[in-house]
Amino acid sequence: MWKWKRKSKNSCGFWDCKQPIPGGDFLCAEHYRAWEKGFIDQCPNCERFKEIMYPQCLNCYFGRRVTPWKPSVVIPTQQQPYRIEYSDAWIDPHHRPDKFFVYIIRLDDGNLHVGRTADLRQRFRNHKEPGHQPQLDYLHIVATEQAAELRESELKRLIDSNPRQINLMISEFHGRMSELGFE
């Protein structure tokens, strides 16, 4: 059933993984587990594996030149594809009680406002009153409310004591967002 080919250099088929793997395998152990659980599937363009939430691997998404990937085996059909539409976590991840968001928004007058919330959407709706266009300048996700509280006061302290550091974090945040195509 599987075609076995001897190949001296066989590496994991995940788009940015360079892990060498034995001939006859198509993913490293870590990515194989992710594939079994249905968290990764193949990029329709280059056929390397990618996270299931992206339509293409990030190389293809950004239009980078990709070398063709030739798996040394025939890839079996995925047994349990991850059903995004059936997962509460995907339908409304912001309502999961184990996630807290710490954010910085820039108000119309240029002032920075630090806050924390378990419900990001609701909070932003509140900030976006008619005629106001606040901008999200920084976002940090933590698991507990206590961690969110600590991070919030840390950020408030930094805004007063080290605005350069804050500006650096903000420009890093926007850089990452535009790299991902959100800005």
Q: Is the dihedral of CA 38, 43, 46, 50 positive or negative?
A: negative
* Residue in 169, 93, 178, 96 with CA at minimum distance from that of residue 137: 169
Q: How far is the CB of 3 from Zn ion (least distance, A)?
A: 21
Binds Zn ion by CB under 5 A, chosen from 10, 35, 40, 46: 46
Binds Zn ion by CB under 5 A, chosen from 11, 17, 123, 149: 17
| Listed ranges 24-32, 89-97, 112-120, 175-183: which one lies at the site for Zn ion (CB under 5 A) | 24-32
Q: What values do phi and psi take at 174, rounded to 5?
A: -65, -35
Q: Which residue number, 66 or 141, has a Cβ lying nearer to Zn ion?
A: 66
| Listed ranges 13-21, 70-78, 122-130, 168-176: which one lies at the site for Zn ion (CB under 5 A) | 13-21
28 contacts Zn ion (rule: CB under 5 A) = yes
Q: Is the dihedral of CA 78, 84, 87, 89 positive or negative?
A: positive
Indicate the SS3 state at residue 102: strand
How is residue 28 written in tokens? Answer: 């490293």
Residues in touch with Zn ion (CB under 5 A): 12, 14, 17, 19, 28, 31, 43, 45-46, 57, 60
